[in-house]
Amino acid sequence: MVTTTWAPVPAGSGFGVENLPYGVFRPVDGAARVGVRIGDHVLDLAAALGDPVFATPSLNGFLARGRTEWSRVRAEIGSLLTDPARETDGAAALHPLTEVTLHLRFAVADYVDFYASEHHATNLGRMFRPDSAALLPNWKHLPVGYHGRAGTVVPSGTPVVRPAGQRKAPSDDAPVFGPSGRLDIETELGFVVGAPSTLGSSVGTGDFAEHVFGVCVVNDWSARDIQAWEYVPLGPFLGKSFATSISPWIVPLEALDAARVAVPTQAPVPLPHLRETEMWGLDIVFDVELNDTRISRPPYAQMYWSPAQMLAHMTSNGASLRTGDLFASGTVSGPERDQRGSLIELTWNGTEPLRLADGSERTFLEDGDVVTISATASGPNGTRIDLGEVTGRIAPTPA
């Protein structure tokens, strides 16, 4: 059975007491502070729990407290929302979502992006290396990734300005500089680090939940033409660093217990430091909409590398974790065409345009286009946990 609550949660809502995601909100008559979403309301944690760590415009202070405190507070919030004797006090701390402003909920320390979908990597390999193996030799031995730019991680709803950059098509004699003509999306799952680690030490796969607090939905916008010219030999740079959008809510790992599944069979068997002691695949399904037309439903359960393996690889050289670190999965794609998580795959590098509900076609994004990515996860007793959505509108390159 679904746990009952006195809070006004609409029937079928994915934001019941099984979820309780964290965010930062600003009420009309106060300063920004930390809250938890319940139904179509946000619970002011500073008011409800009396803890000053929540009376700040950032989750970082709470994230740094670690797993024991994360579990204790989650249990306390659950008790508050399910105890009829506490309804009067709890209801006084509720704010309708329509009456608050949502903010970026943690200060991003570092940002790392991975490339963990075998289907995505294979699709791109077939496009760009048709006469060679789709996957490069290292791909099944380690989670490939790159270090991104934390300063351009932005909250959902932030306009995405079309980036300008240097690009050169194979038929061009010389590179040119100007607005990207191949602006793309990447449907991803983000992981937010709470507890830091010590420089020079590594974090094993079994310690994943000791350091990672929760997940969010990510759109890692990509300028494919800029990326194609710049990435040799050091990888992504300006084609990725202009914007990464994240959803308003961080869903705690504890809310995803029912979504945990095994990753697909990994062959060859990973080296010992990347072998999992627990299952950290996740049964999460994304919905991708372009101008209100659903164009894809990527399944996260198909991801080859788990987030625990990503974290273990990221720290295997002794690199330290900091509170507020964000790492993302890379594009989530499945085996079917309607499960591809990027336009470059959905249109096969622009050769197979998508037709939208209004009759228009797209290969890559045009100015004014709106992309919305949402996600749900398996919850207890057949329920669905809502991860929220991340939205961005494309704005033209400044003159």
Catalytic residues: 120
Cite the beta strand spans of 117-163 per DSSP E: 145-147, 153-155, 160-161
With CA atoms as reference, report the closest residue to 44 among 28, 64, 66: 28
300 labelled ligand-binding: no
Asked if residue 227 belongs to a known ligand binding site, the reply is yes
Phi–psi pair at 105, nearest 5 degrees: -95, -5
Residue 366 among known ligand-binding residues: no
277 is in an annotated binding site: no
Distance CA 103, CA 33 (A): 9
Q: Is 220 annotated as a binding residue?
A: yes
Residues 6+ apart with CB under 8 A from 167: 175, 176, 177, 178, 180, 181, 225, 226, 228, 229
129 belongs to an annotated ligand binding site: yes
- The answer to whether the peptide bond before residue 268 is cis (omega within 30 degrees of 0) is yes
Phi, psi of 18 (to 5 degrees): -75, -15
Does 168 appear as a known binding residue?
no
| 331 belongs to an annotated ligand binding site | yes
Say if CB 397 and CB 368 are below 8 A apart. Answer: no
Task: For residues 288 and 219, give the distance between their C-alpha atoms in angstroms, rounded to a whole number.
Answer: 10
The DSSP result for 247-294, as a single string, is -S-BEEGGGGGGGEEPPPPPSSPPPGGG--SS--EE-EEEEEEETTEE
Q: Report whether 370 contacts 183 (CB < 8 A).
A: no
- The annotation status of 182 as a binding-site residue, yes or no, is no
| Cα radius of gyration rounded to whole Å, the chain | 21
- Binding annotation for substrate: 115, 129, 227, 231, 331
Annotated binding site: 113, 115, 129, 186, 188, 220, 227, 231, 240, 244, 331
* Binding site feature residues for Ca(2+): 113, 186, 188, 220
Question: Which residues are documented as binding site for Mg(2+)?
Answer: 220, 240, 244
